[in-house]
Amino acid sequence: MKKIISTPEAPAAIGPYSQAVRVGSLMFCAGQVPLDPKSGQIVSEDIAEQTRRVLDSITAILKAEQLTLASVVKTTVFLADFGDFQKMNEVYATYFKDQPPARSTVGVSTLPKNARVEIEAIAIADQSGSGDKTVGDTSG
């Protein structure tokens, strides 16, 4: 069964989609663009500020389900200008310091509201209560 996740601490959806959907221990965060949650406007033209706003929105959505960025296992970053990669990456690294998630970064021709960056995330809730899980060899 899926659970729709929504928080006023992140921008409201600007189309027919949910901020996030949780199915069991998995949470799928919709792509976030750098909108101010209160005004609904792009925060700035600066890629560093846009990246911070996007990651703050993802943090808020995760928090709505008592999760953190440490719960994120995969992100996809969309850049309208691949020349922004280094600055985006510098900000991104400050949010994912230890054991960063798997990531894909894709250059696109345009993003909603002419944003420079959009990031989507997949997170998993640790059902065991321990953050350190080791997968053993199950090959037999």
Mean residue pLDDT across the chain: 91
**Residues pairing with 27 in the sheet:** 22, 123
Cα angle: 18, vertex 19, 24; to 5 degrees: 80
SS3 127: coil
Q: What is the pLDDT of residue 126?
A: 79
48: three-class secondary structure by DSSP: helix
| Nearest 10 degrees: Cα torsion 29, 30, 34, 39 | -100
pLDDT at position 78: 98
> Taking residues 100-120, what's their average pLDDT?
97
Copy the structure tokens of residue 98.
């230890």
Residue with more model confidence, 72 or 14: 72
Instruction: Quickly state the pLDDT bin for 140 (edges 50, 70, 90).
Output: very low
pLDDT exceeds cutoff 70 at 134: no
The pLDDT value given to residue 137:
41
Q: Which domains does the chain have, with CATH numbers?
A: 2-124 (3.30.1330.40)
